[in-house]
Each structure stands twice: as C-alpha cells, then as structure tokens.
Amino acid sequence: MKKFIIYCRKSTDEKDKQVLSIEAQIAELTEYAKRERLEIVEVINEAKTAKVPGREIFNQVLAKIESGQANAILSWHPDRLARNSIDGGKIIYLLDTGHLVDLKFPSFWFENTPQGKFMLSIAFGQSKYYVDNLSENVKRGNRQKIRNGVWPNKAPIGYDNDKLTKSIHLNPEKANVVKKAFEMFVAGQTFTQISLFMAKCGITKGSGKPKSINQIRRMLCKKFYIGILDYGGEKSKGIHKCFIDRKLFDKAQERLEYLNHPRPHGHYFAFSGLMKCGECGASITAETKTKHYLRTNRDAIYTYYRCTKKLKPCAQHYINESKLVDQVAQLVSLATLPTSWAKQWQQWLERDKISEEQSGQQNLLSLDNNIQTIDLKMGKLLDAYLDDTIEESIYKNKKNQLFEEKLKMEEKKAKTEGYGSSWLEPFSEFIIGAQDAPNLPAGRQGRARKKENLSRLSSTLKNIGSNLFLKEGQLVIDLKKPFATLRAAALARRRETCFDEHSQCVTLRGIGPRLTE
C-alpha cells in the first residue's frame, strides 16, 4: 500500500512569481489526493530555498521514508523537492533502493521505471539550471549597474531603495543624521553616543533597538558616502548624490585608524612615540610614579619620559613631563607667526590667487589629459580581462590602482578649479594655524582641560618639525622650513629692540619669508 506525504515548499526569496503559495499548494494537492484516492499520512510544508542542500524539514521527510512511516511523496512539481544535485540524487537513490515507491505531481508525469527516473533526473537538472542561470543573470545585472555607477544592493543609511526604478535616492532627513554622526565622531564622540543619537532620530535596527557598535563602525568606513562603489573587490565611481565631503570622511578614517591601534589604558601620554633617545637611538617611553606625602596625607602622580634602552646600554636619565612641556611650549611659542606678518602674508596670498587663476587653465588641461590617459588604460585593461589574457585578481588589483590614481587627479582638478593651485589652501591654513600657540597646561586645571592642551601641544609639535630627539634632558628637533624661519625671526626680535617688518620680510614665494642679514 502506498502511503503519501504531502510536501509543499515556497522559498522566501522565490523569484518565480508563478509558484503557488504554501496554502494554495496544500489546497491543490489535497483536492488532487481525493480525486486520485491517495492515502495521505502527513502534510508537511517548508519555507526555505532548495538551491542548496541542508533543508531540515525536507531531510525529516526523507528520514520518514527510510524508516517506513511513508513510501511515497505528493508534491506540486519536482522543483519543489530539489533544485540542487545532492537532494535530487537522494530522491533517485531512495527510488533505486525501494524505500520510495512512487512520486505524484499534478503538473508533472512520473512513473517508477527507468524511463520515469530518467525524466525525473532531467526535471531536477532543469530546476538546477534555472537556479544557476538566475544567479548568473543577477550577477551580470549587478555588474552592469556598477559599471553605470548605480549601487545594486541595499541602500546605505541616508539613502532609500527605489523599487520602481531599481535604483537609490537620497533621503534628506536620514542624510542629515548620518552627516551629524560623522561630525560627532570626528569631534571625539564614542560609537555608543552616536548610536543613541541616531536612535533618537529614528535610525535603529529592525527590532527598534539602537544600532550596534560594529554597524556604526561599518557606516563610518563606507566609501559610498564620498562616491566610491566597492563591489566584489572592485572599485568604481558612483553617480549618486553625496552629502559627506572628503575632508570630513578622511578625518573620520584617521580617528578610526587611531582607535584600531592598541593604546595604553588608564594613562594618557601626550608625547609618547614622538621622540627617540639622542644617545642610543631607542624609543622614548613614558611611565607614571606615585608619591605619598605624609604631611598632607595625599598621593601625587607624576609622569616621566625615559629611554627604553632596548638597543644598547644607555646612560640617559628620565625627564619630568612638566619640564618637557615647558620646553615644547617655549619651542612652539617661538614658531608662532606674528600678527603683523600674518596680515602681510594674507595680502600676498590674495595676490598670488589672482596670478594662479590665470595659469589654472593650463593645469586643468594637463589634468584632463592625465585623466583621459588613465581612462584609456582602464579600457585596455578591461579588454585584456575579457580576452582572458590576464587573471581576474590581477585585473581587479590593477584596476583599483588606476581608479585611485584617477580619483587623485579629479581631486587635484577640483582643488585647482576652486583654489587656483593646490598649495594655496594648505598655506592659508598654515597662516591661520601658526598665529596662536596652544596654551601652556596649568598645574591646577582639570584633567580633561590639561589633556586637551597636552594633545594640542603634541599635535603642533608633529606639525612644525621632525627628527625629535631627547638628550641630557633637552629636546632637539629639526623644524620644518617655515617654522624654522619663524623661530629665527623670533630670536632676532629678542636680540633687537627695534623690528622693521618691511625690511625683514622680503618674499612669500617658496614656503616662508627670507630674512635679510
């Protein structure tokens, strides 16, 4: 006697809209069973794709067949049973061994004969071919979207998917929240604080809970926000509207890079990693010491910098952080730009902008030619890849290199169009940044304020010089050219009571003014 199990399946991501729902399959198969007078022992349904093996409920059906609880299956079509070679092979093997004696399908003829099993194998093969072909079509369509500059997957936060046009568009409200999140992160806010802020603005997980730290981190890393599509290890330029500027994005990446590096916990050492020992060349490290004062019954924590002495024996002693800070603050103050100089330099800068704008067209033409050359190289590279003359990994690697070069050229072009020359904006920032030195950290100020000032001193020290060495308790540094000039001028002002700025400052061209002897 044949005992049938009704098996119904509909994948949640089913592409074929003609497949009946599970409820419709159950109704159709139950009616078919009554009409054909089939004995049904159980009705089983499953909502899962059959393109890969591993369906739990389907495996339970096969287990019931092997144990003898049933010996036949009623389903809507062979593709409901299997769309991969492993599950299809299991069905045919059960037919060969006699555990499965019959299969019934309202939309497909089957007879348990060599010819019937052959036709069933073809049906399973067609089902697998449909899935494979569908996957290839989807991948090909996605690749074409990427070539057109359109993101083919779920839109990142700040954008919405348009189901009608199969594209994405900017969501102004969410975009403002994401931009604010980037600004908060650059300003020093934590991932948790950003997540809670976004939750207040309505951007949460599907469950309504705030975004996880990893989700916030991934959002801050997405180059999509600056117009770069990174798909399958291959970079392309997107046509979507961007709302995060490159400077803000780069600052966020710098802070992410900083947070990814292990740091000492519990203490903040502002000048750690900046200096080397002037005697042996080893790194300068920092440590804290606690001293207890009996008279006041209090503990005081002091920070010291010393040579690690890992390269060879070294006789250098430690230096108290306060003494080091005094030296750094004095050095920074000497490299401060006088207000009278700043005004004059700013006037010269405005004059040079006019001159640079006149020669800007030639620079733009050169950049356009370079961009066209890169486009030609990328075209030839693609042809070589399509002709199978180079491997896919080599193609992607070389294409990404060319893409980055093109991106830099386009950024230079944008700066040239906006500022006349790429040196004008950095020099303008130098004039602004060199006017005021960070305040000297006072001993009684709060920890947060002191840490902020130390951080500013450390950042300024890195900007104004290089090759920092500590020897005999003295900081030695090679000042960069403009700051070395400022220091020389400051020392000269100390020696001379009268300073004539018009005779001292000769030219702005180069990096800084030349001082007359």
Q: What are the tens digits of pLDDT across the range 197-213? A: 999 999 998 888 999 99
- pLDDT band for 37, please (50, 70, 90 cuts): very high
CATH annotation of 159-260 = 3.90.1750.20
> What is the Cα–Cα distance from 268 to 351, expressed in whole angstroms?
44
Q: Which residue has the tokens 């919405």?
A: 160
Q: What is the reported pLDDT for 135?
A: 67
> What is the Cα–Cα distance from 224 to 147, expressed in whole angstroms?
15
How many other CB atoms are there within 10 angstroms of residue 82's CB atom? 25
> What is the Cα–Cα distance from 103 to 95, expressed in whole angstroms?
9
> Is the backbone of residue 297 left (phi > 0), alpha (psi -120 to 50) or beta?
left
On the question of a common fold for 3-143 and 159-260, the answer reads no
Q: Would you say 332 and 484 are in contact if contact means Cβ atoms under 8 Å apart? A: no
Q: What is the reported pLDDT for 64?
A: 93
> What is the Cα–Cα distance from 364 to 414, expressed in whole angstroms?
9
DSSP 224: G
Q: What is the reported pLDDT for 39?
A: 92
Q: What is the reported pLDDT for 394?
A: 84
- Hey, where are the domains in the chain? 3-143, 159-260, 276-336+436-479
Q: Would you say 392 and 400 are in contact if contact means Cβ atoms under 8 Å apart? A: no
Q: What is the reported pLDDT for 355?
A: 66
User: What mean pLDDT is reported for the chain?
Assistant: 79
- The residue length of the chain stands at 517
Averaged pLDDT, 101-110: 89
Please say whether the structural domain 3-143 has been given the CATH code 3.40.50.300.
no
Candidate from 190-204, 230-244, 310-324, 336-350 with smallest mean pLDDT: 336-350
**If residue 40 lies in a helix (H) or strand (E), which one and from where to where?**
strand 39-46
Q: Is the pLDDT of residue 481 over 80?
A: no
Condensed to tens digits (0 to 9), the pLDDT of residues 111-169 reads 888 888 888 888 888 888 777 777 677 777 777 777 778 888 888 899 998 888 778 88
Averaged pLDDT, 406-414: 79
Q: Is the pLDDT of residue 3 over 80?
A: yes
Candidate from 123-132, 245-254, 375-384, 504-513 with smallest mean pLDDT: 504-513
Q: Is the pLDDT of residue 446 over 70?
A: no
- pLDDT band for 360, please (50, 70, 90 cuts): low
